[in-house]
């Protein structure tokens, strides 16, 4: 059966100027199981008129739309438009926001099915059912509306990574993505794509979505290296942006991948912009990452308050993360720190403690976010269940927004923004930071990236993360 994956333009479009990784993974699996997937990406210039003409010419009756929270409003708008232009079309939602809030998606009235969690198996089974005219009532992970009521089954079946086909990068024009301004850290080459080598994270950080579950599953180093080699040699990719939930959970595996890159003489730059676990390193791994081509990694620290490390269930060992930062500097790997402020009940003193660490730690860049308890996260449930104490009416009402912001009981939102801006100024006004940033301003792309980042951090900083 044919299905078209459509990616609408989002208002925060500078976040999604990359390969739609979810689509190339899903398309590979569906193709292997007898279906005919298509990928139509408005980010690369595909217009609504072209999408409509394509759907008609191919007689495609099913459209899949994946979205994060920041993309949800536009995803709903595009779904509504598709329904009006193509009566009878079936709309399927998936991704971070639909997995966390499937009821909200179905309640829009413009979504037929929601696949919550990893979508390969559930989506293939849905297409099998639609193709044969059967009602897809018992597919794990599938949400739908039955007789006016929302219906769901047990959680989605988790695929065996070793049995999955490699991502279908061949189904998209990678050149169009190379021409875009990547939202990630300054790449060494514009020929950069995202790459994922594992799924799942066993840590319990409450602010994260858990599409891939809490069991770590790593693709074998041999298959990881085969996929990397294909991208480098056959698609002329020169940089891989590793976006695993936690690449370094299995240290031995991570080391084997790095060694394999060196042994196969794969000429590639690596960066880890998604945030690695800072307290799960040893010096050997950092050294091997450098040998393999790593030039940048981000460490998600979030807060230096031990109380809030426990409350948000992260339990990061700050001293070990600090050691990892020092190792990264030793091997000339740029390192960024991720921080969050505005946890419910967080005091000014606790926030200032975190900001002082961010400003003074030996980091090359910092990213400070305001806490956002998105739907489907444990953090949101913890707030509703009183883990952080009782909520006032304003905070409670904010949780119903698409982009909620949980301001501290002791500090209003504007005060948090002021602290955030002040910390950025303190960090980036340092001579060392100025010099480091100046070295990056070697081309127009990097200048645009810096201007965009400054604008965003001054004016658009209400959300903690995209998911």
261 in Cβ contact with 225 (< 8 Å)? yes
As a whole number, the mean pLDDT across the chain is 90
pLDDT value of position 242: 96
Question: Which residue has better confidence, 188 or 289?
Answer: 289
State whether 350 and 412 are in the same domain: yes
- The answer to which of 227-241, 410-424, 453-467 has the lowest mean pLDDT is 453-467
**Listed residue (90, 33, 35) closest to 62, CA to CA:** 90
- 93 pLDDT more than 60: yes
Cα–chain center distance at 323: 26
Provide the residue range defining the domain that includes 83: 2-152
> Which residues have a Cβ under 8 Å from the Cβ of 140 and sit 6 or more positions away?
121, 122, 153, 154, 155, 156, 157
Local confidence band at 464 (pLDDT 50, 70, 90 cut-offs): very low
- 244 pLDDT more than 70: yes
- Provide the CATH number for the domain around residue 394: 3.80.30.20
- The answer to which of 260-264, 289-293, 348-352, 440-444 has the lowest mean pLDDT is 440-444
Residue 465 lies in a domain: no
State whether 241 and 111 are in the same domain: no
15 in Cβ contact with 49 (< 8 Å)? no
Residue 116 lies in a domain: yes
405 in Cβ contact with 462 (< 8 Å)? yes
Q: How many domains does the chain have?
A: 2
State whether 188 and 270 are in the same domain: yes
pLDDT value of position 144: 93
pTM of the model: 0.91
What average pLDDT does this structure show over 163-171?
96
Residue 240: strand pairing partners: 193, 270
State whether 223 and 87 are in the same domain: no
pLDDT value of position 407: 67
Dihedral sign, CA of 95, 99, 104, 107?
Answer: positive
- 458 pLDDT more than 70: no
What average pLDDT does this structure show over 434-460?
69
Residues of the chain with pLDDT > 70, as a percent, come to 91
State whether 136 and 260 are in the same domain: no
State whether 116 and 188 are in the same domain: no
Can you read off the two tokens belonging to residue 84?
Answer: 């009006």
pLDDT value of position 463: 46
pLDDT digits (tens, 9 = 90+) for 220-243: 999 999 999 999 999 999 999 999
State whether 193 and 147 are in the same domain: no
State whether 113 and 193 are in the same domain: no
State whether 103 and 202 are in the same domain: no
Local confidence band at 333 (pLDDT 50, 70, 90 cut-offs): very high
- 265 pLDDT more than 70: yes
Residue 455 lies in a domain: yes
Residue 161 lies in a domain: no
Instruction: Tell me the C-alpha distance between 383 and 389, whole Å.
Output: 8
Question: Which residue has better confidence, 184 or 160?
Answer: 160
Local confidence band at 150 (pLDDT 50, 70, 90 cut-offs): confident
What average pLDDT does this structure show over 22-45?
96
- 199 pLDDT more than 90: yes
Residue 428 phi/psi, 5-degree rounding, is -85, -5
pLDDT value of position 462: 47
- 340 pLDDT more than 90: yes
Residue 225 lies in a domain: yes
pLDDT value of position 15: 56
pLDDT value of position 461: 47
What average pLDDT does this structure show over 381-393?
83
Residue 166 lies in a domain: no
> Which residues have a Cβ under 8 Å from the Cβ of 293 and sit 6 or more positions away?
261, 266, 267, 268, 269, 270
What average pLDDT does this structure show over 267-273?
96
- Provide the CATH number for the domain around residue 59: 3.40.50.2300
Residue 319 lies in a domain: yes
What average pLDDT does this structure show over 175-196?
87
pLDDT value of position 376: 86
State whether 15 and 99 are in the same domain: yes
Residue 297 lies in a domain: yes
- 437 pLDDT more than 90: no
Q: How many residues does the chain have?
A: 467
State whether 275 and 235 are in the same domain: yes
**Listed residue (91, 87, 9, 84) closest to 46, CA to CA:** 9
277 in Cβ contact with 249 (< 8 Å)? yes
State whether 77 and 121 are in the same domain: yes
Instruction: Tell me the C-alpha distance between 134 and 107, whole Å.
Output: 23
- 460 pLDDT more than 60: no
């Amino acid at each position: 059966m044919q299905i078209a994956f459509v990616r609408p333009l989002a208002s925060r479009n500078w976040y999604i100027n990359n390969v739609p990784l979810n689509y190339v993974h899903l398309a590979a699996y569906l193709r292997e199981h007898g279906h005919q997937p298509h990928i139509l990406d408005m980010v690369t210039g595909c217009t609504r008129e072209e999408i409509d003409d394509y759907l008609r010419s191919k007689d495609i009756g099913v459209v899949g739309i994946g979205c994060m929270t920041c993309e949800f409003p536009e995803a709903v708008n595009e779904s509504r438009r598709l329904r009006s232009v193509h009566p009878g079309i079936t709309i399927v939602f998936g991704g971070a926001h639909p997995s966390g809030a499937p009821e909200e998606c179905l309640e829009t009235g413009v979504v037929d099915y929601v696949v919550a969690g990893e979508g390969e198996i559930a989506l293939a089974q849905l297409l099998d059912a639609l193709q044969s005219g059967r009602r897809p009532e018992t597919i794990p992970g599938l949400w739908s509306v039955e007789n006016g009521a929302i219906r769901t089954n047990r959680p989605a079946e988790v695929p065996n990574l070793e049995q999955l086909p490699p991502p279908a990068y061949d189904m998209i024009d990678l050149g169009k993505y190379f021409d875009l301004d990547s939202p990630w850290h300054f790449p060494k080459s514009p020929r950069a794509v995202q790459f994922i080598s594992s799924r799942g994270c066993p840590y319990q950080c409450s602010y994260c979505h858990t599409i891939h579950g809490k069991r770590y599953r790593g693709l074998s180093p041999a298959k990881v290296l085969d996929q990397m080699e294909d991208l480098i040699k056959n698609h002329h990719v020169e940089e891989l942006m590793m976006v695993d939930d936690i690449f370094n959970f299995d240290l031995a595996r991570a080391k084997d991948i790095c060694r394999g890159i060196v042994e196969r003489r794969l000429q590639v730059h690596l960066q880890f912009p998604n945030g690695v676990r800072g307290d799960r390193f040893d010096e050997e791994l950092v050294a091997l990452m450098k040998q393999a081509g790593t030039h940048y990694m981000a460490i998600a620290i979030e807060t230096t308050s031990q109380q809030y490390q426990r409350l948000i269930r992260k339990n990061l060992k700050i001293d070990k993360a600090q050691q990892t930062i020092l190792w990264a500097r030793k091997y000339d790997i740029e390192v960024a720190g991720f921080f969050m402020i505005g946890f419910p009940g967080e005091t000014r003193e606790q926030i200032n403690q975190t900001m002082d660490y961010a400003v003074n730690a030996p980091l090359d860049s910092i990213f400070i976010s305001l806490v956002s308890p998105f739907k489907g996260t444990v953090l949101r449930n913890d707030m509703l269940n009183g883990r952080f104490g009782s909520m006032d009416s304003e905070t409670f009402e904010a949780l119903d927004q698409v982009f909620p912001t949980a301001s501290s009981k002791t500090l209003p939102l504007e005060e948090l923004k002021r602290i955030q801006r002040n910390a950025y100024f303190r960090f980036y006004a340092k001579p060392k930071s100025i010099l480091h940033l100046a070295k990056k301003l070697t081309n127009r792309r990097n200048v645009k990236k810096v201007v965009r980042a400054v604008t965003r951090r001054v004016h658009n900083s209400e959300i903690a993360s995209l998911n």
